[in-house]
Each structure stands twice: as C-alpha cells, then as structure tokens.
Amino acid sequence: MIRKLVKQMLSAQIFSALAVSLCLLVDNIMIGRFYQEQGMASYTLANPLLLSIGAIGSLLAAGVQVACGKSLGSGSKEETNAGYSSAVAFGTAVSVLFAAAVVLFAPFLARAMGAGTSGGLYDMTKGYLIGFSIGAPGSMGALVLIPFLQMAGQGNLLIVAVLTMTVTDIALDLLNGLVLHWGMFGMGLASSLSYYAAIAVVGTYFLSKRCVFRFSFRGVSLKKIAELFRGGVPAGFNMASSVIMVFLLNRVLKSTGGSSALAAFAVITSLGNAANCITTGVGGVSLTLSGIFFHEEDRTALRTLIRCLSRYGVILGLAMGAFLVAAAPLLVSLFIAEPGETQRMAALGLRLFAAGMIPCSINNALKNAYQGTKRVFLTVLISLLEGTFFPVLAGFVFSRFMGTTGVWLYFLAGETLTLLFIAALVMILARKLPWQDGAALLLKKDFGVMPDCLLEMDIRSMEDVTAAAQKAEQFCRDHGQDAKVSNHIALCIEEMAANTIQHGFAMDQKHHDLSVRLLQKEADTVLRFRDDCGAFDPVSYIPKDGEDALGIRLVLAFAQDARYTYALNLNNVYIRIGREEAAEE
C-alpha cells in the first residue's frame, strides 16, 4: 500500500510544485518576448526579494505537513483544524504586510537589488516588484492551501485551479504586452491576478460544507503558529538559502557577463524551477509521509518510503535531465528569440543544470525525511550547504577559471557535494553504507516497536479476515495475553475488517487494500487499520442489520480509545485496547 500511496502522492506533489512555478515561467517567457534582455535582467534582480515571500509560504506549508502529519498520525481532528486556522490566519496577515511594505519602499528595494538609481533597468525592476507584490496574499494562499487540498484528496480541484491560473496569466500577459503597455509592472500584476483567480477556484471547496477542515478564530493561537514555524524552519532555511544564493550569484554574473549573463540566468532559473517540480515533489512526499510513519513508530514503512522515493527520484530525474539537455535550444528560444551570446549561455547553463537533477532528488528525499523524523538540525545544515554554501562556492571558484561558464556549474556541483556529504555522514554515524538496511535514515537503534512485538497483515477478502483474526489471536497468546484478551483483539480485527470490506470496499468496483498493524505494548495493545477505499468511518458506521451491529458495538465497548481520520485518500482507524479493561469485559 505504501508504494501505491507514494505513486499517487508523488504525481499530485509534482503537479502542485509545477503549479507554484508556472506563473513565473509564463511571465518570463512573456517578459523575454516583449521586453527582451533588459526585462529579463530586471526580473533576475527582483527575484531574490520575491523569493523571500515564497520562503515564508514554504515555511508555513512545510510546518503544515509536519504538524498535521503528527496530528493525522495520532487521529486528532482538533489539532489538524487548529493548524489549518493558524496557517491561514498567519499567512494572510504576513502576506498583506509584505505587499504593503514592497509597494511603499519599491524605489529603495530596487536600488538594493542592484538595479542602479535610474534608467530603464531601475524602472523595470521597481515596476515588477510592485506589480508582483500585490499578489503576495494570493501566492501565499496557494502555498499554504496546497497541502490541505492534498490531505483532503482534492486533486481534481487542484488541476482546475492550476489551469485557471495559467490561462488567466497568459491572457493578462498578452493584454499587457499588446494592448495596455504597462511594462514590467503589468507583467507582475498579471501574475498577481492569476494567483487570486486560482484562490477563487480552491475557495469553492474550503468555503463549502463538504470541506473536512474547519476554520475558526478560536483555533488560531500563538502556540500553534510557533509549532508550524518549528516544523517549517528547515524549509524556511532552504528557501532563504536560495534567496541568498541568487542574490550572490547575481553579483558574480553581473561582474563577469553583465546584463546578458543576468538574462541567461533568469532563463536557467525559470526553467530550472519548473523542472525541479520533480525534486520538490519527492521532498514533499518524504516530509508528509515520514512524519506520519515516524509518529506511528513504523520503521519498515520509513525504509520502504525512502527506497521508493530514491528510485522514483533517479528515474524521473534522469528523464527530466535528458529532456532538458535535448530540448535546451528550443526551450531557451521561447524566452530569447534572437540567436546570440545570451541564447548560447542560457542553453549551456540549462544543460549543466540538468545534470544535477538526480542528486537533487535523492537529497530532497533524505533531507525532508530527516525533518519528519525529528532531526531538524541536520535538515537545516543540509539546506544551508545545498542552497547556499556549495553552489555559491562552486560558482565563485569556477568563475575564476572559466568565466561565466563556470557559474553555470553551481547547481550540479552544489547537489553533488551535498549528496557526498550526506553519504559520508551516514557512513560515520551508522557505520554502514547509505543503502544498507535503511542506514541513510539515521534512525536510533531503539526506534519503533521491536520486530517480535509487531504483527502486520494485508487483507483483501473475507477469507483473509478470518485468517488474520486467527493469526492475531495466536500472536497475542504467544506474547503472554490471556485467552479472553486475545479473543477480544481477534474479534476486533474480525469485526472492523469485515465491516470495512463489506461496506467500505463495496462503494465501488475498484480493487482496494486494507492493512492491519498490531503492536504489543506493556500496558495495552494498539491496532491500526488503513485502507484506500472512499471515505468510510468504520468506527461510526453501524450496519442496519442488528446482528452485524452487535460485533461493532462490542468492539467499541472494550476499546479504551477508538479514532478515525481520513487523510491522503486513506481511511485510518486507531484502536487502543487495555489488557485489564479487555479482561474485565
């Protein structure tokens, strides 16, 4: 089931990551067509500041994935809703303040970005900053709400929102370039309005009664915001590192290649950000699922997750890299129509960038898994090395010998050196090769349930239900449970699994899976049921047939705790049975 879940989530995450960069990609193409090299250079200079609001949004989005991964893993709807309310409220407040500050101080900010004090480059940079910053609440909303859409299983609505955003952006860019002639301000404003159009689409779900999340001002708290920040700190550092990297490399490029190099860099980063939807998707799945599996103390699931993501990362990274290498001249020509030095530099830089896709995918899988498994310091360290230190060092050093061409090695060198750093660290700390026995995860030896105290079963039919119940009863007896408690646990598995298959799986004609996990602890037994049928709560659903209902009521009567959550297109049921309470029933 984990492999199936990873495939489903990865496609959604890749698509959502592409959505975030799509407006900037379209903008860059239009900027290159209508405002040529100087327009591209002004975009490059404005980019670090625009990335800063993205850093805050990414921080909140990652915090949502971590915090809600924890609450979903424990089955707490209240905590999930508190995270939703706090993320929406804080994101709205910060993005409105950011927009107001940029509009007020745009002249100063343009000069600080290196656009000079007057002239065409200065005017274009200032105009784009103002136009794009107006949409800060919209872009923030897209970043913050995407994880919640994925948790609610609203993939189709996400597709509609992305298409709406793309069509709106293209239409408004053309309107600006062909009719209004508002310059770079109009290009930035087009992106802003397209983000708001996307928010209007997703709002049809979040403002409806069918939304599984509930916003309330009571749910907004400084404590929850602080939790989101703690969970999102690594992602914030990652984005902040990118801001610093772009700012510093802009300075190196301006000194080695002037505005032509800056324009080429704009093309490379724009196409690179779109291509990195793969690496971002890998990281997003890793962060969400590693947090859930970690709080479930599921070592096996974590190992399977990293193996799957590493394999998919290599395959998809290789495919995307090959595409970028082959299509580089054509892709660059979308931005820069006239053949020349700028076009040549951009094509070469894009091909060198493509070579870093595979190590970047693996780095993102591991980096985000460390965050999900509570190794936050390691995630922050890797983010700084990968996002700033190694790429800037490589760009600066190679530029001394190879000029502007040397700067284009920043991504490949940065990702490769980061992967080598992680591999060396794993071999030192775990004393194993990274791919041996899940060593790359750097889990503590005592993490999770001991193998002899854990029973995992997959159920697909009623015949499997009977076999699983018998196996569970014998497992409990082998671990010192008396006959009555063992029988209660077997009955729980039989009733809950049968209820799910008969009434949950019957919702459609598709193939479904149900996994059962039984953990023997000192004072109690924990059962976790997880299936991929439509939203169905076996804890609350009582069959109309009185005889069938008796078994479900009996299970709920002797369970100390029974909780249900629907997340990531999966039904999750958590049942805790105390030994003494079960024996007394």
Boundaries of every domain in the chain: 2-441, 451-584
Instruction: Please tell me the predicted confidence (pLDDT) of residue 118.
Output: 87
**Per-residue confidence (pLDDT) for residue 420, from 0 to 100:** 96
Give every CB contact of residue 365 below 8 A, 6+ residues apart in sequence.
282, 283, 286, 306, 309, 310, 313
**Predicted local confidence at residue 308, as pLDDT:** 92
Q: Who has greater pLDDT, 240 or 412?
A: 412
**569 has pLDDT over 80:** no
> pTM of the prediction?
0.73
> Is a pLDDT exceeding 60 seen at residue 452?
yes
What is the pLDDT confidence band of residue 579, given thresholds at 50, 70 and 90?
low
Give the residue from 488, 554, 499, 553 showing the smallest Cα distance to 527.
Answer: 488
Q: Is the pLDDT of residue 585 over 60?
A: no
Over its C-alpha atoms, the chain yields an Rg (Å, rounded) of 26
Contact yes or no for 318/281 (Cβ under 8 A): no
Tokens of 491: 């009955």
| CB distance 416 to 422 below 8 Å | no
Question: What is the percentage of the chain residues whose pLDDT exceeds 90?
Answer: 32
**Hunting for tokens 């800063």 — which residue is that?**
52
Tens digit of each residue's pLDDT (9 = 90 or more) over 173-193: 999 999 999 999 999 999 899
Phi, psi of 528 (to 5 degrees): -125, 125
In this structure, CATH architecture of domain 451-584:
2-Layer Sandwich (3.30)
Distance CA 507, CA 57 (A): 38
pLDDT of residue 582: 47
Answer for the pair 381, 237: CB distance below 8 angstroms, yes or no: no
Q: Is 1 helix (H, G, I), strand (E, B) or coil?
A: coil
Mean pLDDT throughout 119-145? 91
Which of 66-80, 391-405, 476-490 is most confident? 391-405
Beta carbons within 10 angstroms of residue 372's beta carbon: 29
Task: For residue 316, give both structure tokens.
Answer: 């998809």
Phi-psi region of 122 (alpha: psi -120 to 50; beta: other; left: phi over 0): alpha
**Which tokens belong to 384?**
């700084």
Q: Is the pLDDT of residue 129 over 70?
A: yes
Per-residue confidence band for 166, with pLDDT thresholds at 50, 70 and 90? confident
**CA 464/CA 470 separation, integer angstroms:** 10
Out of 42-51, 481-490, 575-584, which region has the weakest mean confidence (pLDDT)? Answer: 575-584
Instruction: Tell which wins on pLDDT, 415 or 553.
Output: 415
Mean pLDDT for 562-571 is 75
> Model confidence at 314, in pLDDT bands (50, 70, 90)?
very high
The sign of the dihedral angle between the CA atoms of 47, 52, 56, 62 is positive
**Joined tokens for residue 388:** 């700033």
Q: Of 64-78, 214-228, 472-486, where does mean pLDDT reach its minimum?
A: 64-78
Instruction: Select, from the ranges 176-185, 261-270, 491-500, the one with the highest average predicted confidence (pLDDT).
Output: 176-185
Check pLDDT > 50 for residue 38.
Answer: yes
User: What's the Cα-to-Cα distance from 446 to each of 299, 430, 441, 443, rounded to whole Å?
Assistant: 10, 13, 14, 8
pLDDT of the residue at 74? 63
Q: Residue 366 pLDDT more than 90?
A: yes
Question: What does the pLDDT average to over 147-168?
Answer: 82
Distances from the Cα of 214 to the Cα of 31, 77, 90, 287, 568, angstroms: 40, 10, 16, 23, 17
Place of tokens 């002639």: 181
Range of weakest confidence among 35-39, 231-235, 311-315, 512-516:
231-235
* 484 or 104, greater pLDDT: 104
Q: What is the pLDDT of residue 109?
A: 93
Are 390 and 381 in contact, with CB atoms under 8 Å apart?
A: no
**What's the pLDDT band for 550 if we cut at 50, 70, 90?**
low
493, two tokens: 């598995």
CB atoms within 10 A of CB 147: 25
Average pLDDT value over all residues in the chain: 85
Instruction: Grade residue 542 by pLDDT with cuts at 50, 70 and 90.
Output: low
